[in-house]
Amino acid sequence: MNADYFPPIIVNTAYNHTSMAETTNGTHNNINGDSAVAHANGSPATYSTPSRVTLHLGHMPSKKDIKAPWPRTPSRVDPNNPPWPAYRGYHEYSFAHATMGVRLPTILGKAIDDASRTLNEQYAEDKIVDLVECLERMDALMADLSGNAKLRPIVDDGEGDVALWNKEIAKYFQGKDFMNAPWLFAEAYKYRRLHECFSVSKYWKDYDVFYRQKCDTFSRSTDAVFELSMRFAEPFKLSENMSSKEKAESERLMFLELTQVCLWGNSTDLSLLINMTEEQIKSLQSTGGDHLAATEKNILGNHLNKLWETVKVLREKTGGRIDFVLDNAGFELYCDFVYADFLIQTGLAKQIRFHGKRYPWFVSDVTRKDWDWLLNTMVYGHLFPKASEVERESLRRLGARWKQYEKDGRWQYEQHPFWCTGYTFWDLHSEAPDLFLHLSRSDLVFFKGDLNHRKLTYDCAAPASIPFDISIGPMASAAGAPKICSLRTVKSDVVVGLGDNGDAIAEELDKEEPGWKISGKYAVVLLSEGRPGEKVRFA
């Protein structure tokens, strides 16, 4: 046979992902960038390049109705086999694309500016030289990110999560790059690499490139901060003149309102606020009662009432243990505290555990330092020079009460290494069984924010009608799984739990309001059943 002659079947086997690159318009190029040519008419190699392949399949069997392999059953799920297709950086229809291609380099650029500013404030040579090396590592990371490099293992910097990271890379992501690895993993990996730039240094191990920004947004949230402090500085008390029925109703309404405060506190996260004015921040943070009634309409999956029924039961057993897997520092953490304070004061919870990050993460996430900063600035800070003395006093009193909760153990801050990994929470029970066991002892675990929601749901293209319990896999189905409540303003692609009509709702919004999944205008409050009474067993 003439070596240059390609019968159709051979040409078509070249249509696979390893040898052919997908282009944006859906055609396929070979690795040299040329259009593939099917010499379907059997003409030899002298044939000039046609622009399209046209095959006539009249002799083939007719099409069958083949069921797609989604969703996968939980036992067959791993990072290369998500329950539904994963989002990846090269998916232009997804927020993954803008994030990996534009937002992350912008965020890293700002982080480099921050470290340079700190460098310029130093006087000691050894610290300066050490920080210059951190900056060089950041430049290398920028080159990797912009050049779409392959993901390399994390350097052993002594952190508790190195083994978790490198195991996941070795098992699932060898040879993957920033754009073709699943978005969730690639994005988390970037923050871990950023931490590595500092963690291997001598003097700058704990340096937080986002710290200035985090403090700054809280100080720019004046109106909402004082709106809440003026309402809640006085310990919560129901009027003696109310009947017990009225009291119960008033408490219920207050609970629902504060759950919304806690929820919408998530809409202003720094990674999305890069260009927002103070006015825009203010409107996002509006906390008034009327505003909240209106915003309830934007809670697309709404288990608020079910949540109230759940927490009410806790008081009957003399107050439960409630956990918060925290998201953002500053204003969101402040809203979390207002809510947690209410839960303690009303006896709905007798102990609250807050789970934060061990190092700077996704720009605004809470670290121990952010936690301490907020409480101390409330009590001792001079952040709001334009506030009245009464307003400042209300903030001091709140701060003092919350610090007391921490002193007497009613509030506790914890930071497990697992929270800063690229694993989704489907892997929490297998990769961090100690943490799973710990959470399984909680009566209710709130997961705050968008990233936690992505991790709960495997950050994949699950249909919007899929029930929350199914979408979170083992976090709902494993023996001992606690009740989980996701309080999340929608800021990325995955949306689940919208009810039987959910697919139609999502489709309508796609048509009417493009961008509804990243605007932070919509939210979900979703509660799982959990399997709290059951014994936890690990394989």
- Return residues touching ligand F6P (CB under 6 A): 99, 103, 187, 266, 269, 271-272, 327-328, 362, 364, 449-451, 454, 491-492
* Residue with Cβ nearer ligand F6P (247 or 369): 369
99 binds, among Mg ion, ligand F6P, none (CB under 5 to 8 A by kind): ligand F6P
Burial annotation 406-445 (CB, 10 A radius, 16+ → b, else e): eeeebbeeebbbbbbbbbbbbbbbebbeebbebbbebbbb
3-state secondary structure of 246: helix
Question: Shortest gap between Cβ of 347 and ligand F6P (angstroms)?
Answer: 30
Nearest approach, Cβ of residue 269 and Mg ion (Å) = 5
Helices 304-316 and 244-264, packing angle to 10 deg: 120
* Integer angstrom CA distances of residue 129 from 72, 135, 395: 51, 10, 41
Least distance CB 290 / ligand F6P (angstroms): 25
118 binds, among ligand F6P, Mg ion, none (CB under 5 to 8 A by kind): none
With CB under 5 A as the contact rule, which of the stretches 28-36, 252-260, 321-329, 372-380 interacts with Mg ion? 321-329
Name the token pair of 219: 């100080």
Q: Residue 169 Cβ, how far from ligand F6P at the closest point, in Å? A: 20
Taking alpha carbons only, the member of 136, 144, 147, 128 closest to residue 112 is 136
Cα separation of 281 and 267, whole Å? 9
Nearer to ligand F6P, 272 or 536 (CB): 272
- Smallest distance, Å, CB 526 to ligand F6P? 15
In whole angstroms, how close is the CB of 451 to Mg ion at the nearest point?
Answer: 5
Residues in 363-382 at the binding interface with Mg ion, rule: CB under 5 A: 364-365
Cα gap 40→45, rounded to integer Å: 12
Give 419's contacts (C-beta < 8 A, 6+ positions apart): 325, 355, 356, 357, 358, 361
Binder of residue 266, out of Mg ion, ligand F6P, none (CB less than 5 to 8 A by kind): ligand F6P
Partner that binds at residue 251, options Mg ion, ligand F6P, none, CB closer than 5 to 8 Å by kind: none
Q: Which two tokens stand for residue 36?
A: 């593939």
Task: Let me know: does 88 contact 182? Beta carbons within 8 Å.
Answer: yes
Nearer to ligand F6P, 38 or 333 (CB): 333
Task: Give CA–CA dist 455/478, Å, rounded.
Answer: 16
135 binds, among Mg ion, ligand F6P, none (CB under 5 to 8 A by kind): none
- Pick 454 or 483: Cβ nearer ligand F6P: 454
Peptide bond into 463 cis (omega under 30): no
Tokens representing 283 are 């409107």
Considering beta carbons, is residue 334 or 405 the nearer one to Mg ion? Answer: 334
- DSSP codes joined into one string, 162-173: HHHHHHHHHHH-
x-or-dash string of contact with Mg ion, 324-363, rule CB under 5 A: ---xx---------------------------------x-
Instruction: Give the HSE-up count for residue 58: Cα atoms under 13 Å, Cβ half-sphere.
Output: 2
- Could you tell me the smallest distance in angstroms from the CB atom of residue 272 to ligand F6P? 5
Cβ closest to ligand F6P, residue 311 vs residue 325: 325
Residue the block writes with tokens 């969703």: 71
Total residue length of the chain: 539
Instruction: Supply the minimum distance, in Å, between the C-beta of residue 467 and ligand F6P.
Output: 21
Q: Between 484 and 503, how does the x/- string for binding to Mg ion read (CB under 5 A)?
A: --------------------
- For ligand F6P, the closer CB: 83 or 330: 330
Q: What single-letter DSSP state applies at residue 122?
A: -
Residue numbers at the binding site for Mg ion (CB under 5 A): 327-328, 362, 364-365
